Structure 1
Amino acid sequence: MAIGENSQTLEHIGVTDDVISKTVQSAKSSQRSERRIRGVKRGVRSELSVSQGDWTRRGYANHKELLSTEGLRDEIPRIKCSEVTPEEFIERFEAPCQPCVITGLTEEWAAHHKWTWDKLLAKFPEHKFKVGSDDDGYAVRIKFKYYYEYLHSLEHGKDDSPLYIFDGTFADRAGSKALSEDYKAPEYFSEDLFKFVGEKRRPPYRWIVWGPARSGSSLHIDPLATSAWNALLMYAAKP
């Protein structure tokens, strides 16, 4: 009798069996996402307990001043790519090892408008990107659809140091190599000595780094005494 009454009530408000089925599937999908996210967290930071709240213990998400730029001194020189030739760049910045910020270089890149969270989800839902390494040094990867869920999760969005994609093999893997066509190396950095050893022998030299606020690498020295150029794009990709 109770089942019959519930069935009539659901019909009355317009909830069909198909909607119920989709709701159940959605709940199961959310459970899979949560299990996968928690598994990845345990893989990359085994010293932190997800269930005991270690990932949010410091409460950085609630400290607005943590990401504030107020009071910071920015003395890094900025130049426009249209106003400085490669020869001038070498003389002013490369030779004296002077870092700088170059503006205008990415405006013509496809990545400038293609690399938004929603567009990346539509193109790479099942592709696995690296988000860290486990205690044995093996890569920990996650499907982008699960990472997208992580980015929009109310619970995981409070992480002190959120997971972020840092993948140095994206251009070599079938599922993501198309990303390498969305940008090009600036003319200032066209010289590449590693290319002479061949693609199979050269060390990793290109990465994608995607992540939310508070994520990112710590201070470090790049391997093999190399220098790097980094392009900031994700500021335009609003989650």
Structure 2
Amino acid sequence: MERILEKFNLVYIPYQNSQVDYQKIFANVIKEEKYHQQHSIFQSQDFQSPLDFPIKGRIPRLSESSMSMSEFNSKWHNYPFILQAETDSSSEPRWPKWDMPYLLSRFPDVKFREECVDWPLSLYHDYTLNNIDENPLYLFDCNSEAMKQLKTEFVRPIYSQTDHFTTFGSSRPDNTWLIMGPARSGSTFHKDPNSTSAWNATLQGCKLWVMLPPDLKPPGVHTDLEESEVTSPLGLAEWVLSGFYNDSVKLSDETVNKDGFSGCLIGVTFEQDLIHVPSGWWHTVVNLTDSVALTANFVPSVKLATVLNFLKNKKNQISGFHPKTFNNVFVEFMTKMANEGKSFFDSDNESVLKNYLKDITSREPSEFTDEDVGELHCEIELPTYQFFVELLHQDGMDDELKSALEQMRAIERENNRGNVKKSEVWENLTKEGADSGFSFGFGFGDEEGDEDDGDQN
């Protein structure tokens, strides 16, 4: 009987997942969101707070013209929203109309990154037309020759135009991606890299978004205490069919976040819609149709402390930096500091950076890769936090930097208190286990999971 069940799981479940019709499953949500797109566009100024948005459990839909930098900084930086441009039939579209036929006409032989492979776009196009995979390959590209050109052909939303990671210059972590996938593709739950904020513009098709605040772990997702390991079901279809989507919907009317955020927000982006993904928010994305999107990560002033804390205290989770390019920019910076006799913001930073300079100049350049290997896999730990602080200092941002560092220290104190509480709970549980035969029902056996790379939308 067990063997029969094993064969059933191996054959039937993948087939079942490959046949899922998300447009049918989410028909009511799509219909409702389409209605709101056409009739329920609000101005940012309509609300004292995002929590005043009248359609509960839904991602607020706002006019793009109402989202100024001051509105974003004062009210919206911590909350998801969808922006619609105010255009008519005579207006140019807000976002480029880069559908698959258009991109194929420009870049048929250019290789794009599709998860673990690099394929010419013409090959990926053929794949999307014929695939019957349980989890279709998702194109997620930031460094192709095509992207170098496409990055110059659109205007970023106004609220993202203050981006403190630009101070890294050419060594900044990867930040702008073209995303493309057939219906049923998408990304499992993750948070965006380096505690950055993000925007995502849908250029073709439509996408379902399920979002939860930072301190509410999504149903069906498991993490360690530091959230460095994220394990979720095998794929999107399994997550939906197993009932975890319904469990998320049940959270939509609950207030569970210390800031009063709703437990779960759901929305659909259609062509020309843009969505804001706040720093630290969990989100999963389902391509309801074949889709093309453009996304970018950024560091607004109101999130500078959060990002500084991440770079300082979550080194093994940092991603997107390319060591060889980082080192080139770093050496140029340190040479300029020495030649011009400039002072450092912090003496501890100075010591770390000088030691790193001594270390890398004693090694052969060939020892460093320019692939994004992540901090966890670097030969030498990149001093991203110290370098970022000193770059901000040299850019004349001392007042903003000092304020952000004060906020960062408050975050550290709060996190330390939280870690003490977690440790006490764990200690009590393990003591109870030692005394009374207590055990955890982890269900060891046949369960499997995928580690999410944390940056696909």
TM-score after normalising by structure 2: 0.34
Asked if the contact 1:111/1:183 (under 8 Å) is kept, the reply is yes
Which one-letter code corresponds to 1:181 in the other structure?
A: T
Residue aligning to 1:143: 120
- How far apart, CA to CA, are the structure 2 residues paired with 1:233 and 1:165? 14
**Structure 1 pair 93–111 and aligned structure 2 pair: CA distance change class (3 A):** closer
Residue aligning to 1:128: 111
Structure 1 residue 222 corresponds to structure 2 residue 206:
no
Asked if the contact 1:130/1:166 (under 8 Å) is kept, the reply is yes
Asked if the contact 1:162/1:214 (under 8 Å) is kept, the reply is yes
Which one-letter code corresponds to 1:225 in the other structure?
A: S
**Count of equivalent residues:** 172
Fraction of identical pairs, as percent: 30
Alignment map for 1:171-210 (pairs within 5 Å): 173=145, 175-199=146-170, 201-210=171-180
Structure 1 residue 103 corresponds to structure 2 residue 84:
yes
- How far apart, CA to CA, are the structure 2 residues paired with 1:189 and 1:89? 9
Q: Deviations over 1:43-81 (max 9, x none)?
A: xxxxxxxxx979952344344566524268752111101
Specify which of 57, 68, 73 is matched with residue 90 of structure 1. Answer: 73
Structure 1 residue 70 corresponds to structure 2 residue 44:
no
State the 1:84 CA deviation. Answer: 3.4
Question: Which moves more between the two structures, 85-94 or 63-72?
Answer: 63-72
Which one-letter code corresponds to 1:121 in the other structure?
A: L
Residue aligning to 1:119: 102
State the 1:197 CA deviation. Answer: 1.5
Computed over aligned residues only, the root mean square deviation of the Cα atoms, in angstroms, reads: 3.1
**Structure 1 pair 65–103 and aligned structure 2 pair: CA distance change class (3 A):** closer
- How far apart, CA to CA, are the structure 1 residues paired with 2:12 and 2:114? 18
More strand by share: 2
Q: Once superposed, which parts of structure 1, at least 4 consecutive aligned residues long, lie more than 4 Å away?
A: 52-56, 64-67, 71-74, 105-111, 236-239
Specify which of 4, 19, 29 is matched with residue 61 of structure 1. Answer: 19
Q: Deviations over 1:83-122 (max 9, x none)?
A: 333212221201xx11111111898568532x12111111
**Structure 1 pair 105–130 and aligned structure 2 pair: CA distance change class (3 A):** farther
TM-score after normalising by structure 1: 0.62
Asked if the contact 1:55/1:161 (under 8 Å) is kept, the reply is no
Specify which of 131, 137, 156 is matched with residue 163 of structure 1. Answer: 137
Asked if the contact 2:112/2:121 (under 8 Å) is kept, the reply is yes
Q: Which runs of 5+ in 2 are unaligned?
A: 1-9, 31-55, 206-270, 273-288, 291-457
Which one-letter code corresponds to 1:68 in the other structure?
A: F
